[in-house]
Amino acid sequence: MAEIKVDVRGETCPVPLVEVRKALRKASPGDVVEVVGTHPASKREIPMAVKALGLELLTDQGSDTDWTIRIRR
């Protein structure tokens, strides 16, 4: 199992979601993608996308402007 880190601090929509989707495509089943960001809308959009893709949201922590989301592929 690998851990893939995606740092999208300072980026605004749609960049964070696009980068997360790229990382998830590269990830193997069981891998964890950790996303660190600062954009409030992306903090809401990424968990919705994870659910729509049928993946596991491990954690969604932090404030709207400084957050970390962990996803299991």
CA dist 2 and 40 (Å) reads 27
- Which one of 13, 18, 41, 48 is the catalytic residue? 13
Q: Does residue 71 carry a catalytic annotation?
A: no
Question: What digits encode the pLDDT tens for the residues 4-57?
Answer: 999 999 999 999 999 999 999 999 999 999 999 999 999 999 999 999 999 999
Residue 71 has a CB neighbour count (10 Å cut-off) of 26
Q: Please name the residues in contact with 1: beta carbons below 8 A apart, sequence gap of 6 or more.
A: 30, 31, 32
pLDDT (average), residues 47-73:
97
Strand order in the sheet with 32-37: 3-8, 32-37, 66-72, 56-63
3-state DSSP of 14-32: CHHHHHHHHHHHHCCCCCE
Domain spans in the chain, listed from the N-terminal domain onward: 14-58
